[in-house]
Amino acid sequence: MAAQSFFSHLNEFRDRAIKSLLAFIVATLIIWNFLDPVIRYVVEPVGRIVFTSPEEAFSARMTLAMTGGFLFALPVILYHFWKFIALGLTDKERRYIKIFGPLSLFFFFAGSAFGYFVMLPISLKFLLSFSSIWMVPMITVDKYISFVGTIIIGSGVTFELPLVLGFLARIGIATPEFLRQKRRYAYVIILIVAAILTPPDVVSQMILTIPLVVLYELGIFFSQLAQPKNP
């Protein structure tokens, strides 16, 4: 019986992963057809960029198309993600997904917007301020697109923190008291995560670290609201 349940979950995971992948591929192909205006918009903060090898421009276009495809396919991907998670929950816990599912999409896009409109301009201004007559910025398209994609996706992922903490509290895994007690350890982990998810400069890391600390505290608040009430 346990083996049947395991393979049933495995098949469910495979089916939903395939559907998510197909949504990602279709969205990427759609973005590819409108890539030139997207590139102009993304490159606008730095003006012009260059490429230094024959394949670099194509590689950068693919990276940008896949990043955009992921963002456009995200509603479908999150739908299948939450549907799979629901398999391991009770009927009562599944009801929470109707709230946390849409909120997860909102928080991700809010984080991505923060990354593009706040983190990116500040990071670029700081990093390009080190240019001089001896060091002229020649930004390559591949590096720049990867830089932008890292900030957008990384910010989107990190903004899910309050929702994750609230969901864990709702299903009884985490409590507000536990989160408060482990606050110091959480801050250390936040610093590590910010270093991983941002480009390798202190300003970008701090720009993400500060909101993450705020989001963690917001997560404690959410967990307090989401914590099941004692009968």
Map out the domains of the chain as residue ranges: 2-226
Instruction: Say yes or no to pLDDT of 227 above 80.
Output: no
pLDDT tops 80 at residue 5: no
pLDDT attached to residue 198: 67
Over 50: is that where the pLDDT of 41 sits?
yes
What average pLDDT does this structure show over 82-101? 80
What pLDDT is stored for residue 76 in this prediction?
A: 95
pLDDT for the residue 67:
94
Read off the pTM.
0.82
Q: Which amino acid is at 184?
A: R
Evaluate whether 198 touches 153 at the Cβ level (below 8 Å). Answer: no
pLDDT at 2 over 60: no
220 has pLDDT over 60: yes
- CA 168 to each of CA 109, 131, 150: distance values in angstroms, whole numbers, following the listed order: 21, 46, 27
pLDDT at 226: 66
Q: How far, CA to CA in Å, does 147 sit from each of 64, 143, 204?
A: 11, 6, 11
Q: What SS3 class is residue 182?
A: coil
Closest to 159 (Cα-Cα) out of 98, 225, 202, 216: 216
Which phi and psi angles does 122 have, rounded to 5°? -65, -45
- Could you report the per-residue pLDDT of 150-199, keeping only the tens digit for each? 889 988 988 888 888 877 777 777 777 888 888 888 888 888 877 776 66
pLDDT digits 0-9 by tens, 96-144:
788 888 889 999 999 999 889 988 888 888 888 888 888 888 889 988 9
Mean pLDDT of the chain: 84
